[in-house]
Amino acid sequence: MIKTGEPALPKSMRICLYLALPLCLSLPANASQAQSAAPVIKYDTSDNIIYPVQARHGMVATEQRLASQVGLDILKRGGNAVDASVAVGFALAVVLPNAGNIGGGGFMMIHDARSGKDVALDFREMAPSSASRDMYLDSAGKVIPRRSTFSHLAVGVPGTVAGLTQALSKYGSMTLKDLLAPAIKLAEQGFEVTPHLAGMLDASRDHLGKWPASRAIFFKGDRPLLAGEILVQKDLAKSLRLIAQQGPSAFYEGAIAQKIVAEMAAHQGIMSSADLKNYKAIEREPVKGTYRGYQVMSMPPPSSGGVHIIQMLNMLETYPVRQQGVNSAQNIHLMAEVMKLAYADRSEYLGDPDFYKVPVKALTSRAYATELVTKIDPDHATPSSQIKPGKLQAYESDQTTHYSVADKHGNVVATTYTLNLLFGSGIVAAGTGITLNNEMDDFSVKAGAPNAFGLIGGAANAVAANKRPLSSMSPTIVLKDGKPFLVTGSPGGSRIITTTLQMILNVIDHDMNVAEATLSPRIHHQWEPDQLRLEKGISIDTQNILAQKGQQIRVSRPMGRTQTIQINADGFEGFSDPRNPDGKTLGF
């Protein structure tokens, strides 16, 4: 059982109360992840207390411990949170090759302490200029299998290098060369494949194995690398070195661009040198809302995440969520009904704001939330078919990654970026070591028909030249009295939004520390399919009550993998979601 309603003590002090005192006193001021320095972080059935990592001067939480170490080293050298985030972004491209990338794209939320400004940086991939609405259909109008996922036509113009370098030049303080050095070293010298990475390589055997340039990196003979073997990426090291020497133009106009275009031309791809040259990261206004006195800042379209997190928080604020208790039947039923209403809107109204007028203000207004909650019956689940005529929307791939960084100056950065599926398209552009995304599949490849992952959408997210596909990635910053309080986000496709929502609720409503908030079982409903997904850990009694209310329950595999940092008056508390065992939070 997770405790709620603790005495009014700071959460860090509360942890000390529950720890044996000597153990508490021995928690070093420069505590690194508690997973390696005792106490071990896991469900603690003896006293119900779970320990976040604590630190005073800065913190980095990522899905790969080597990348967390890179970020920590940058902070220790005096770099700010943006510097560390840029270094981590490049390092994850090496050590988390299934999702970390320079051949993909993503989003970064920055709170810049100097100016007090909050920034949403969009470096989402873009459709090539000769992309068109029906490019994934045959002459009979049928979707051609795998074309939008595992072919050269699946690749969107990558945004990561533009995004990371733009963040650095506007908000960082160190040189690109310094920040790329650790990633170059990791690529050149190699690192040991973890059991988790080996599992993902094995799961990607078919689409990686198809391409000689990909096999050359990720295979040994006729099989993918195994745990314990060393992954060396010499070509990727060369590409990173070129970027260090020449800046982003090496990627978008120079030798790397030429190789990517040659790769495309050799396999009926359509990405041109002009597409790469014209790519721009875009600074956008974050989506903003408030929740019980906290300010919530998240990613605007082309992400759907920020809009729907705020829309759901607006609805939930009208209920006594804390009194309901975390994951009580009443609480889960409410969250599910709120999620259904938000995801029904997602299918209709969300797309690239440069192509489609997304009604952000209306969707995130309190008036609209007040209207929506009148549709919620506390005793009965409303069938999804009655919420809006079905535009089926199935579960998206969860092969994305999120990381959070906070520094002692009050800067915080939340970054979520992706190749889309595991190792993206599986295509490495020959001679570059760069794995290319398959983000084109995040468009609605045919209006009203499911794509390879069952995703259906309408005009708002149809394929078009130079358009960015809709995303669920939701890097989020919560402020308290204008100062950073929580930095969070997650991979998990459509479950990113509900995972991030529950992190906010667990900390603010249920008074959990970030470790407790992370480990609490998650739920997810996305309107269609009409299915309430529950992680293991929700009691059978609760499930029975939910079923009586008419919820269609399905016990699910783990959902989301958060990397979260909370900022308190006396320092940082962070936690890497053990749903990925390779993740690590480090602080000093």
- Residue of closest CB approach to ligand GLY: 471
When the beta carbons of 513 and 556 are compared against ligand GLY, the nearer one is 556
Q: For the beta carbon of residue 288, count every other beta carbon within 10 angstroms.
A: 16
When the beta carbons of 396 and 530 are compared against ligand GLY, the nearer one is 396
- The residues near 399 (Cβ < 8 Å, ≥ 6 apart) are 98, 99, 418, 419, 420, 421, 422, 423, 491
Q: How far is the CB of 141 from ligand GLY (least distance, A)?
A: 25
When the beta carbons of 224 and 424 are compared against ligand GLY, the nearer one is 424
Q: How far is the CB of 534 from ligand GLY (least distance, A)?
A: 22
Which uninterrupted H or E stretch holds 404?
strand 400-407
Nearest to 279 by CA among 299, 253, 302: 253
User: DSSP readout, 261-303?
Assistant: HHHHHHTT----HHHHHH---EEEPPEEEEETTEEEEE--TTB
Q: How far apart are CA 333 and CA 475, in angstroms?
A: 26
b/e for 203-231, b at 16 or more Cβ within 10 A? ebeebbbebebbbebbbeeeebbeeeeeb
Check: CB of residue 53 under 8 Å from CB of residue 565. no
Nearest to 247 by CA among 157, 160, 165: 165
Check: CB of residue 440 under 8 Å from CB of residue 433. no
Q: How far is the CB of 301 from ligand GLY (least distance, A)?
A: 12
The 8-class DSSP code of residue 426 comes to S
When the beta carbons of 442 and 577 are compared against ligand GLY, the nearer one is 442
400 is catalytic: yes
Q: How far is the CB of 397 from ligand GLY (least distance, A)?
A: 6
When the beta carbons of 344 and 497 are compared against ligand GLY, the nearer one is 497
Q: How far is the CB of 107 from ligand GLY (least distance, A)?
A: 9
Which residues of the shown chain bind ligand GLY in the complex (CB under 6 A)? 396, 400, 418, 420, 442, 471-473, 493
Question: Angle at the Cα of 265 (from 235 to 270), degrees rounded to 5?
Answer: 110
- The residues near 140 (Cβ < 8 Å, ≥ 6 apart) are none
When the beta carbons of 337 and 396 are compared against ligand GLY, the nearer one is 396
Alpha-carbon dihedral 353, 297, 556, 558, rounded to 10 degrees: 120
Extract the tokens encoding 1. Answer: 């059982």
When the beta carbons of 345 and 396 are compared against ligand GLY, the nearer one is 396
Q: How far is the CB of 117 from ligand GLY (least distance, A)?
A: 25
The active-site residue out of 364, 400, 564, 585 is 400
- The residues near 21 (Cβ < 8 Å, ≥ 6 apart) are none
Q: How far is the CB of 45 from ligand GLY (least distance, A)?
A: 35
Catalytic residues: 400
